Each structure stands twice: as C-alpha cells, then as structure tokens.
C-alpha cells in the first residue's frame, strides 16, 4: 500500500481509511485507486475490523474527483481501463461484508461522489457539496456514478446532476436521498464515529447478512429477494450471536456479540 496516498488507522473495531492527497483535494489518480483497493481488500480480510470509515484529508474535500491531469492524455482504451479500475474499487466497497461509512467532510465531486455512493452510509457535513460535473469536461461519470445515482436518487435527479454538471448542497443531497444524514461540520467526526461505534458493537454476521440481502434485493425481482431474505434469516438461527441477542433482550441487558 502507498502509505502516503492512503492512511489507515484502527480503534476498537473501527478502521479509518483516509485519502491523503490534500494538496490535490484528494483527487483519485491510478495510484490512489490502487492504494484504496489494497486498503479495502485488507479491511475485508481482517476479522478484527467490524466497520470502516472512509474520509479525505484536509478541510476542503472528501474527494474532489478523479485526477484530471492524469486523465487528460489518456487514449480510448486507457480511459476504459481507468473506468474499470475505479468501478472495481467501488464494487469492492459496495459488496464489502462489513459496513462502510463515508464521512463526507467537503467536496465530493465526480469520482469523489462515486466513491461515497459505493459506501453503505454517507454522513455529510452541512458545508459539503456533491455533484457529477463530468459533462463540463466533455465526459460522463466513469466509476459507476450514473448507475448508483440512478438507484439512490432516481432518473430525474440523475439527469439533473449529470446533464447540468452543477454541484448541490448537502441538504439538497439529503432531500434527493444521495446522503444518509447531514450534520454540522464541527460535529461530523464525532457523529460519524458514534454511528461507527454502534455498528462495531452490533452482530457482525447479522450486519453482513443485512448488506447481502439489500445488495441482492436491489439487483433481482421481489420474489427472488424475498426467498433470499428468508434463507439468510434462517441462517441467523445457527449463530451464537442470535442466541446471545435474544437472551440479552429477555434478560434486559446489552448483548455481547462475538461474530459466531
């Protein structure tokens, strides 16, 4: 992993991954995409990690987009490969078997919004702005933005953001369903880590199953989704965590989940 591009820190089951190019507003070049891919692969494989928080270094940007200077001279096949590289990362995040929270501390534009939309929850500072401005460069979203934005916000909002290319405020993004919550900028870290701590204390196998059923349900018909939900629901009855959770409820105490 290129440690200067991506920083990783652990605390009580929470892994914090920070894009660390503040002088470039954390723009995603190929090396940064690779470093993030390595970081998320490692988080998926580490049993001690219960939840991941993703953010950007510095006060201005979560991720301001893909690195335009690097993209400017790409040939068509190289542009396609760059798109596929970004899409692989976003899909890795989206299908990670642990919750991933985007802590959107500033601009999340283009590839930055696509990165945030790959996460399961998006907590935004009230000062943040999000958008898909690729049209202004003669481009379209390339890291899955058109598809995830369509699923989160619908056709009308997707066309608005992608055709006009203008950023929207965090509050507008909340109204459109693009972000999960908006909090005062001064409270962003504390509020995000509070949610992360809650998730880290939850039953890991149930968290994973929840992510699975939502991902599967979003990509199949209702009948298939319901059948998959029932199958996963039944599997939970084979876990120690389910026994602990139900006992704790009856005994009026907090459960201690072990991920078994």
| Residues 231/232/233/234 CA torsion (nearest 10 deg) | 50
Identify the three-state secondary structure at position 239: coil
Cα–Cα distance for residue pair 199/207, rounded to 1 Å: 8
Contact 86, 143 (CB under 8 A): yes
Contact 50, 16 (CB under 8 A): no
- Among the options 114, 191, 219, 224, which is catalytic? 114
Cα–Cα distance for residue pair 259/247, rounded to 1 Å: 16
Q: Give which of 105, 63, 102, 103 is closest to 86, Cα–Cα.
A: 63
Q: Give which of 76, 77, 75, 61 is closest to 28, Cα–Cα.
A: 61
The answer to whether residue 229 is catalytic is no
Q: Which residues pair with 63 in a beta bridge?
A: 108
Cα–Cα distance for residue pair 9/48, rounded to 1 Å: 12
- Among the options 70, 134, 171, 191, which is catalytic? 134
The answer to whether residue 134 is catalytic is yes
Contact 76, 51 (CB under 8 A): no
Q: Which residues pair with 183 in a beta bridge?
A: 125
What residues are labeled active site?
114, 134
């Amino acid at each position: 992993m290129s440690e200067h591009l991506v920083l990783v820190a652990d605390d009580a089951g929470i892994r914090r991954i920070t894009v660390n190019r503040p002088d470039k507003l954390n723009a995603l070049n190929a090396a940064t995409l690779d470093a993030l891919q390595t970081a998320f692969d490692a988080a998926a494989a580490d049993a001690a990690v219960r939840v991941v928080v993703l953010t950007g270094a510095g006060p201005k940007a979560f991720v301001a987009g893909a690195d335009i200077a690097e993209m400017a001279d790409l040939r068509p096949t190289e542009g396609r490969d760059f798109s596929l590289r970004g899409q692989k990362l976003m899909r890795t995040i989206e299908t990670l078997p642990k919750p991933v929270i985007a802590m959107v501390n500033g601009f999340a534009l283009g590839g930055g919004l696509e990165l945030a939309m790959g996460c399961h929850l998006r907590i935004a500072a009230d000062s943040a702005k999000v958008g898909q401005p690729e049209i202004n460069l003669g481009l379209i979203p390339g890291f899955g933005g058109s598809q995830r934005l369509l699923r989160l916000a619908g056709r009308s909002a997707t066309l608005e953001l992608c055709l006009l290319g203008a950023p929207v405020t965090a509050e507008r993004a909340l109204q459109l369903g693009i972000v999960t919550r908006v909090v005062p900028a001064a409270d962003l870290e504390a509020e995000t880590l509070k949610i992360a701590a809650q998730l880290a204390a939850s039953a890991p196998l149930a968290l994973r199953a929840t992510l699975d059923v939502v991902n599967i349900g979003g990509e199949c018909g209702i009948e298939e989704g319901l059948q998959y939900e029932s199958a996963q629901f039944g599997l939970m009855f084979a876990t120690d965590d389910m026994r602990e959770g139900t006992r704790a409820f009856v005994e009026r105490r907090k459960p201690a989940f072990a991920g078994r």
